[in-house]
Chain A
């Protein structure tokens, strides 16, 4: 369909599921319970309503995801978003990329870092960004290709073990999210307001 987006962008996109979302009025008690774990009081997304077909997993996944991406201490929020974006580029989850590239840019104010991730030109970045993107990209591949040298580069760039673990968690949880969002739906241009 003509509104489907196939190229990486940090612009806001929408997501259209391939499976029918759970209808809230018809949701089972278990589904309603799992949906309470959703992050905010905003409208429940079609993505979450599709995942509500498996309420046990949805109910456990949401707090883990939020803890990894928004938990206190350790790696900065921006750099967690950078790891998430690099993983999403590997897995070509166009919608995931748009959300997390956008968040990185709004937190770090460095659109050029995202441009380099999209182009695969991260060798031109500073040592810290380069180390983060390199590790994230290779850990996201299947099988994972990250090496001792990648971790050494992170340490030399000044990341603590806690920061490296936080980066690992963000890449890993996007190895998960990308395998839901991209196979279960597609990124589309948002309707004109």
Chain B
């Protein structure tokens, strides 16, 4: 079994109530890791390279106030300086979309999808990007809750 990133980032004191709750939900924690693999290191990355995915995940984690999670992702990739697969317009549009959906998804409209399309981001990559932003948003809330329940740090 692959190591579980959430359980690498936080520690539930052995025998503690939070550790027991996590043990009772071990299948969900394994499923969470399978989702991490699917959005960070997919077999078919489409137009979103693995390095770009890690860089964007770091951005979502940072915007979500989780420096530790952001550092985990930042170690896995950075934004390309000169671009390998993306036009600058696409990268710019993607970053803008990441910031919007991570922080204020309530403000998203059809115009935001149209902006990605106008910048040349394909339908498949819009869905891949959406899943990446949304997964990290899930992960950072799960970690925040576990910390409040007594996991460290």
Contact = CB atoms under 8 A, between A and B. Distances in A.
A157 B64 CA distance: 28
B123 interface: yes
A122 to B, nearest CB: 18
A57 B148 contact: no
B21 A162 contact: yes
A184 B105 CA distance: 11
B128 A57 contact: yes
Contacts of A173: 138
Contacts of A183: 101, 105, 108, 112-113, 130
Contacts of A142: 63-65, 102-104, 137
Contact of B21 (A90, A148, A164): A164
A128 interface: no
B21 A139 contact: no
A93 B101 CA distance: 12
Interface in B42-87: 42-44, 46, 63-66
B118 to A, nearest CB: 13
A148 B148 CA distance: 6
A161 interface: yes
Contacts of A105: none
Dominant secondary structure at the A interface: helix
B137 A64 contact: no
A140 B104 CA distance: 11
B105 A19 contact: no
Given A56-B44, A59-B38, A64-B32, A73 B24 contact: yes
Contacts of B66: 143
Most interface-central of B18, B38, B103 (chain A CB within 10 A)? B38
Contacts, number: 169
Contacts of A56: 38-39, 42-44
Interface in B102-153: 102-106, 108, 110, 112-114, 123-124, 126-128, 130-131, 133-135, 137-142, 144-146, 148-149
A39 B34 CA distance: 18
A54 B128 CA distance: 6
Interface in B1-51: 17-18, 20-22, 24-25, 27-28, 31-32, 34-35, 37-39, 42-44, 46
Chain B contact patch, size range: 35 or more
B138 A172 contact: yes
B149 A151 contact: yes
A61 B137 CA distance: 14
B28 A169 contact: yes
A108 B145 CA distance: 25
A176 to B, nearest CB: 4
B106 A90 contact: yes
B28 A144 contact: no
20 contacts: A18-B110, A18-B114, A19-B123, A54-B46, A54-B131, A56-B44, A57-B35, A59-B38, A60-B37, A64-B32, A64-B34, A143-B64, A151-B148, A161-B20, A169-B142, A176-B134, A176-B137, A182-B108, A184-B113, A184-B127
Interface of B: 17-18, 20-22, 24-25, 27-28, 31-32, 34-35, 37-39, 42-44, 46, 63-66, 101-106, 108, 110, 112-114, 123-124, 126-128, 130-131, 133-135, 137-142, 144-146, 148-149
